[in-house]
Amino acid sequence: MKISFQGEFGSYSHQACSEAFPKATPIPCPTFESAMDQVKDGNSGYAIIPVENSTYGRVADVYYLLPKSGLHIVSEHFLRVHINLLALPGVNLSDIKTAMSHSVLLGQCRKFLSRHNIKAVSGIDTAGSAKIVSESNDKSQCALASPLAGQIYGLEALGVQIEDMKNNTTRFLIMSTEKENKNFRKNTKFMTTIIFQVKNIPAALYKAMGGFATNNVNIVKLESFMLSGSFTSTQFYADIEGHPEEERVKRALDELMFFTSMLKILGVYKRSEFREFNS
């Protein structure tokens, strides 16, 4: 089985692949869209896509791609993001002057870099920065990346788990061309991901959300984003707890449909055990 992801070997998406599908063959792709296209073209069985980080927030581009991808969300995976300071073998921490990584990751290690007077340098991505450091003879330069990147590119960790926030976690969605056969079962906890567009009437969103409150359906995530550059056309993304076949969820969705011009279910999947221990 093959699974596609955005980034280089050694990226956090690659690490998520290894955790979610230990026996699968990972396929690196330059963009999120190309990772999804690999699935649509039949070159991989799944794509694993990051959607949000507990420190950084949402991955904005993905929310525009999900509705158009033609794929279904079949699972979710939470990756604990550990950041290592990676350097050429034999280098000491006192030799390091600059640290290269994706700008998001650099912002998550400000305290460590400041404490050691290391200048942050923005790179293409995390694993790509590790690759550049491994191919360079500059002993004053290091990369901030995953432990997996250090193993792949033969770098030594001069700092381990140096992230400022010790609960730093990224949520990934696993996507496929086929829907999983997730029939409702009482003893299984489900998540349902939807996108919708409310009608252009006063208090439409307030009224649309009312059905979830009255039917005791928890919305764990609600995001809005503009459509086609318009300031009046807004689409919403929501993760809700429960299964569409569950009576209370069915009633909430029926009420939502009354106030929407578009409603689409992107996926119904088993709730990750990570949520149970980090709620």
**Catalytic residue positions?**
170, 172
Write the burial class of residue 207 (CB in 10 Å: 0-12 exposed, 13-18 middle, 19+ buried).
middle
Residues 6+ apart with CB under 8 A from 75: 20, 173, 174, 180, 269, 270, 272
Spatial contact of 72 and 61, defined as CB atoms under 8 Å apart: no
Tokens of 56: 């950084």
d(CA 51, CA 174): 10
Do the Cβ atoms of 141 and 86 come closer than 8 Å? no
Q: Residue 55 to residues 87, 114, 171: CA-CA distances in angstroms?
A: 25, 19, 11
**How far apart are the two ends of the chain, measured CA to CA in Å?**
32
Radius of gyration of the chain (CA): 21
Instruction: Assess contact for 164 and 108: CB atoms under 8 A.
Output: yes
Q: How far apart are CA 196 and CA 185, in angstroms?
A: 26
Let me know: does 59 contact 46? Beta carbons within 8 Å: no
223: Cβ contacts below 8 Å, ≥ 6 apart: 58, 63, 236, 237, 238
DSSP lists the bridge partners of residue 43 as: none
In the block, which residue shows the tokens 């993905």? 62
